[in-house]
Structures are given as structure tokens and as C-alpha cells.
């Protein structure tokens, strides 16, 4: 019942969302080998990844589709002040009235060789295997960019190799000023979002 960490994609249109969405996931060697590091663009964020989840039609989920699904999974009543999307990736800066949080999701395909264990430096981590063989990692960690920012994430790897990673930080930009004591969504809520069937068509 043990498994491990992430990856990403390239910049989309519009204003880039906060820096470090996927960097904070704590990449293992296998993921690093198949994905480029995110890079700053005008002080904000551009993500880069090597593979996106395939939809039922055999095509990668578009940025617009990714953003639509992400927004639909967030609690009602929150406000979005920034957003970014591209094929296989979407992120928003979301505020439930208690402080802004960057929330992002990455969808990938053919990731069956990824280690899903809890190896690494985590505040807490739990690795699970669901009844259908899906591997789930639920984790909290300090930001790799320093400061007081914390990262909460759920990483899901399905038996067919499709993978969904969702994470949130207690800031509008990772490594930036903390906007709230903790990220807004519970790990249970993140897991529900990550397991949403729409990510994989």
C-alpha cells in the first residue's frame, strides 16, 4: 500500500498563475527524466510537461477542458482572481473568503512506471491502493521554494497508466507571502477531485 510523486506541461495563454505549481510536488528521478522544470515568466509561472492524459476520444484534454473541470470541482461561493490552462494542465488562484490559494491540476498518460511511495520529506504522507488497483498518494509538505508556504497534494495513478495530480498552497504564489494558515481544501476533497472520471475521459 505504498507509492510516490509528479510532472507537468508548457505555458498556455493569458496571465501565468503563481510560480512553482508542479515544482512543489517533489519530483522523483523518474518524473524528472520525463518532464522539463517549470520556469518563471514575468515573475509568474509557466509549466512544462511531457505527456497529458488522453480522453475517451483518444485526444489529450485541452486547456479549456482542464480548466472547466477544475472550476466545477471547487466549492461554491469562492472567487477566482487568476487562471491558466493548457493541454493537460490547469491552475487557478481561488479565494473562499479566508485568503487566496493557488490550486492546480496536471493530467498525464502512460505513467505506469512512476514510484508512488511516500519516500521523501513530507509533513505527512499516506499511500493507498484502491479496490480497482488505483494508487493514491495523499501528502502535505513544506514548499521547496522556502518560506512558510505549505503544499497539500493528492497524486492518483490508474491501472491504465493515466495519472492526475492536484495540489494547493496557502498562498497565491508558491514561495510568496502566506495568505492563510493552511490551504483551503481537505485531502479528502483533493482526492475526490483527483478521482473525477472527467480527467481521463
The DSSP letter of residue 54 is: B
Low-confidence ranges of the chain (pLDDT < 50): 1-58
Supply the DSSP symbol for 40.
Answer: E
pLDDT > 70: percent of the chain: 70
Could you tell me the three cell numbers for 138?
495523499
Does residue 34 lie in a domain region?
yes
- What is the predicted pLDDT for the residue at 146? 77
pLDDT for 58: 44
How many folded domains does the chain comprise? 1
Length of the chain: 201
- Residue 16 belongs to a domain: no
Q: What is the pLDDT of residues 59-114, one digit of tens each?
A: 578 999 999 999 999 999 999 999 999 999 999 999 999 999 999 999 998 898 78
Domain that holds residue 129: 23-200
CA distance 130 to 133: 5
In this prediction, residue 25 carries a pLDDT of 36
Give the number of C-alpha atoms closer than 13 A to the C-alpha of residue 55, restricted to the C-beta side: 13
Strand runs labelled E in 61-129: 79-86, 89-95, 100-108, 124-129
Asked, for residue 191, whether it belongs to a domain, the answer is yes
Instruction: Give the distance, in angstroms, between the CA of residue 18 and the centroid of all CA atoms in the same chain.
Output: 13
51 is a domain residue: yes
Amino acid at each position: 500500500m505504498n507509492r510516490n510523486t509528479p510532472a507537468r506541461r508548457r505555458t498556455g495563454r493569458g496571465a501565468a498563475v503563481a510560480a512553482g505549481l508542479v515544482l512543489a510536488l517533489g519530483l522523483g528521478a523518474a518524473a524528472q527524466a520525463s518532464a522539463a522544470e517549470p520556469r518563471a515568466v514575468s515573475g509568474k509561472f509557466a509549466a512544462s510537461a511531457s505527456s497529458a492524459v488522453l480522453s475517451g476520444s483518444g485526444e489529450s484534454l485541452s486547456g479549456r477542458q482542464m480548466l472547466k473541470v477544475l472550476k466545477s470541482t471547487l466549492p461554491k461561493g469562492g472567487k477566482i482572481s487568476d487562471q491558466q490552462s493548457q493541454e493537460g494542465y490547469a491552475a487557478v488562484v481561488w479565494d473562499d473568503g479566508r485568503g487566496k490559494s493557488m490550486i492546480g491540476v496536471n493530467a498525464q498518460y502512460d505513467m505506469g512506471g512512476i514510484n508512488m511511495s511516500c519516500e521523501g520529506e513530507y509533513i505527512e504522507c499516506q499511500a493507498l491502493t484502491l479496490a480497482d488497483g488505483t494508487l493514491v498518494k495523499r501528502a502535505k509538505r513544506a514548499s521547496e521554494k522556502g518560506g512558510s508556504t505549505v503544499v497539500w497534494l493528492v497524486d492518483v495513478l490508474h491501472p491504465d497508466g493515466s495519472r492526475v495530480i492536484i495540489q494547493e498552497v496557502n498562498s497565491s504564489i508558491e514561495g510568496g507571502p502566506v495568505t492563510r494558515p493552511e490551504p483551503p481544501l481537505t485531502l479528502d476533497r483533493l482526492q475526490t477531485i483527483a478521482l473525477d472520471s472527467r480527467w481521463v475521459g
